[in-house]
Amino acid sequence: MVDSTAKKNRFKNWNRSLKIFKYIKSYKITYVFGLICLFGSSLSAMIFPYLLGNLLGADSLNKNSEFNLFDSNNINALFILLMLLFSTQAIFSFLRIYFFGIVTEKSLKDIRKDTFNKLITMPISFFDKNKVGELQSRVSSDIVQLTETFNTTLAEFLRQIFTIIFGISFIAFISWKLSLIMLAIVPVIAISAVIFGRYIKKLSKKAQDSAADSNNILLEALSGIKNVKTFANEFFENNKYQYSINEIKKLGIKGSIWRGLFASFIIVAMFGSIIFVIWNGMKMVNNGELNSQEFFQFILYTIMIGASFGGVSSLLGSIQKALGATERILEILEMNSEEIQSNNEKIEKLQIKGELSFKDVGFRYETRPDISVLNNVSFKIESGKQTALVGASGAGKSTIANLLLRFYEPSSGSISIDNENYLNYPLSSLRAEIAIVPQEVFLFGGTIYENISYGKSSASEKEIFSAAEKANALEFIEKFPDKMETLVGDRGIQLSGGQKQRIAIARAILKNPKILILDEATSSLDSESEKYVQEALNYLMEGRTSIVIAHRLTTIMKADNILVIKDGTIFEQGKHEELISKNGVYAHLTNLQFETN
C-alpha cells in the first residue's frame, strides 16, 4: 500500500513538473526547428557506425579503377562519405544548440519574470512563513538548474533515446541472435539506474535545502552586520555558517560517492557486456553466420547503445535533480497572490476623503492562530484628523496599521473607508492612498534621488526637489558632494537615522496620500534630528487623516484623539487632557515617561 501511494505521488509530481514546459509553448516553432536539427544530428551519428563498419571491413586491396561514391567496399568513397557525414552533423549540431539556446533563454526569462512577479505580489503572511534566503535560492539556484535541463539535458536525453531505439533496430536486423545476447544485460542496467536515480534525487534535494539554509544565514548575517558586530558575535555567526556548509559538504561527498558507485557500476556492466558480445560475435564470424563488415557494424552500434544507456542513466539523475527544482518553483508560481494591478494598467485614483472606521475588528496571525492580537476593536477617525495609538509593545498598535494597509485582513469585524468596506476597493488603488513612515526606514541601495522618487515613479525633478525641501531633507542633501546623486549604500547604511527618516518623509510627501501612518517615526532619534523630523511630519500630516503610533507621548499631546491599546483592546480614548484627568493607564504611562526623562 505504501509503495502504491509512493508511486502515485511520484507520478503526480512528474505530471506537475511537466507544467513548467508551458513556457516553451510561446517559442514552439523555434523549438520544433531545434528538434528537427536534433533528429538530423542524431541520424547523422547513427549512420557513422554503418559507414565505419564498412570501412573497417573493406578490402584494402580493392583495385577497382572506376570510382563509385556508394561502393561499400571502396575505402576512398567511404572516407569521403564519412567526411561529408561529419560536416552535416556539425551543421545540425550547431543549429540544434542555437535554436535550443534561444528557446531556453527566452523561457527562463519568462520563468524568472513570473517567479519574481509572484513573489513580489504575495501577501505579507507568506513572508512570515518563508525565509528570504530560501526564496532567493529558489529564484537563483533552482532556475540555474533548469537552465542546464532546458539547454542540454533534455536534448541529450532525446538524442540518447533515439540512439538506443535506432541502434537496437539495426542490430536486430543484422543478427537477432546476437542482439538477444546483448539485450539480456539491459534490464540490469535499467533497474540499477532507477534505484540509483531515486536515491541520488533525495540526496540532491537535501543538498539544495542545506544550500538554501546556508544562504539564509549568510543573508541575515550580512544584513544585520551592525548587530553582529555590536554583540561581538562574529564567531557565533561564523560557527553557524561553518556548521551549515559542513552539512552541504557531507551531503555533497555522500552524493559524489553514490554517483561514483553508479558510474562505476555502469562502466563495468557496459564494457563487460561489450566484451561478452564481442566474444559471441567472433564465434559467429568464425562459423560464417556474420561477415566482417556486419560484425564491425554490430560492435560499433553495441558500443553506442551501451554508451547511450550509461548516458540515459546519468541524465535521469540530472532530470531528477531538475524535477526537485521545478517542484519548488511551481510551488511559488501556483500560490494565490494579491490582486495587484500590473505596470501596464493605470492605477485607479480613489476619490476618498479618508474617513476611517474599525468595527468589532478581531485578528489572529496565521503563524500564531491560538493568540488573539486584536479583540473587538472599534473606533472612528474623521477625515483630516489625527489619531494616536499608544500602549505597551505587543499591544496591537502596529497590527492596526498593517490591517489598514491590507498586509493582513481582519479575522472578524470590518474596516471601512468613507463608509465603504475597504475590501471593496482595488488593492493597488487603496495602497496608493496610504503612506507610512516607519521607525526603521528601508532605503534601496541606489541614490537619494531614486529613493525619494520611489514614492511616485512618474514625478518630475522639480516635484522631487520640492518634496525633499518640505521634508527638511534638502538641507543635508545639498552638503553632499554628489547631492541628490549620493549613493545611500545597502539599506541606507551611509546615512544617519534622522537623514533616512527625512528621506522617507519626502517619499511620503511625493506620494501625496489621503491617509498617513506614522509608526514611531521619531522614537530612535536624537533631539536635534527629532526637531527636523517633527517639523517635516507636521507639514506631512496637515490636512491628512493620520494615525500616529507613538512611543514618545510628548509628540502626540495635540492629537485629536488618543487610543490607549492594552491586550488587543481599546482600554481608553480621548484627548490628552481628558485622559490625564482620568488618571488611568495613559496618565500612568505619561508619568513614567516624564519621571524617566
What's at 460, amino acid-wise? S
pLDDT, position 63: 46
Note the pLDDT tens digit of each residue in 41-74: 878 777 777 777 666 665 544 545 454 555 556 6
pLDDT, position 65: 45
Query: Among residues 43, 39, 37, 48, which one has the least CA distance to residue 92?
Result: 37
CA 219 vs. chain centroid, Å, equals: 15
- Asked, for residue 346, whether it belongs to a domain, the answer is no
- Asked, for residue 3, whether it belongs to a domain, the answer is no
pLDDT, position 14: 58
CA 103 vs. chain centroid, Å, equals: 20
Q: Are residues 329 and 366 in the same domain?
A: no
Regions in the chain scoring below 70 on pLDDT: 1-18, 53-74, 138, 182, 185-194, 197-198, 230-231, 270-271, 273-274, 306, 309-311, 313-314, 316-317, 320, 341-348, 492, 521-530, 554, 592-597
Instruction: Indicate the residue among 333, 367, 383 that finishes a domain.
Output: 333
- Cα within 13 Å of Cα(526), Cβ side: 6
CB atoms < 10 A from the CB of 583, how many? 10
- Asked, for residue 223, whether it belongs to a domain, the answer is yes
Output the pTM of the full model.
0.67
Element (H, E) at 545: strand 545-549
Q: Are residues 327 and 400 in the same domain?
A: no
Measured distance CA(115)–CA(333) in Å, rounded: 6
Q: Phi and psi (nearest 5°) for 447?
A: -95, 170
Q: Are residues 86 and 233 in the same domain?
A: yes
Q: Are residues 289 and 384 in the same domain?
A: no
Q: Are residues 256 and 365 in the same domain?
A: no
CA angle 29, 34, 37 (to 5 degrees): 130
Q: Phi and psi (nearest 5°) for 29?
A: -65, -45
- Asked, for residue 450, whether it belongs to a domain, the answer is yes
Instruction: Indicate the residue among 333, 368, 394 that finishes a domain.
Output: 333
- Spatial contact of 186 and 266, defined as CB atoms under 8 Å apart: no
Query: Among residues 460, 458, 438, 554, which one has the least CA distance to residue 505?
Result: 438
Measured distance CA(497)–CA(492) in Å, rounded: 9
pLDDT, position 71: 55
Give how many domains the chain has, as a whole number: 2
What's at 122, amino acid-wise? M
Q: Are residues 360 and 327 in the same domain?
A: no
Q: Are residues 424 and 500 in the same domain?
A: yes
Range of the domain at 270: 19-333
CA angle 526, 532, 536 (to 5 degrees): 130
pLDDT, position 17: 63
Q: Are residues 418 and 499 in the same domain?
A: yes
- Spatial contact of 541 and 470, defined as CB atoms under 8 Å apart: no
**Where residue 210 sits, what CATH number does that domain have?**
1.20.1560.10
- Asked, for residue 4, whether it belongs to a domain, the answer is no
- Spatial contact of 508 and 435, defined as CB atoms under 8 Å apart: yes
Instruction: Indicate the residue among 333, 365, 390 that finishes a domain.
Output: 333
**Where residue 591 sits, what CATH number does that domain have?**
3.40.50.300
Q: Are residues 321 and 453 in the same domain?
A: no
Residues belonging to the chain: 597
Q: Are residues 305 and 166 in the same domain?
A: yes
Measured distance CA(378)–CA(570) in Å, rounded: 8
Q: Are residues 491 and 371 in the same domain?
A: yes
Measured distance CA(322)–CA(328) in Å, rounded: 10
Measured distance CA(268)–CA(262) in Å, rounded: 10
DSSP result, 564-586: EEETTEEEEEE-HHHHHHHTSHH
- Asked, for residue 189, whether it belongs to a domain, the answer is yes
pLDDT, position 526: 61
Query: Among residues 145, 150, 56, 50, which one has the least CA distance to residue 97?
Result: 150
- Asked, for residue 528, whether it belongs to a domain, the answer is yes
- Asked, for residue 547, whether it belongs to a domain, the answer is yes
Q: Are residues 424 and 573 in the same domain?
A: yes
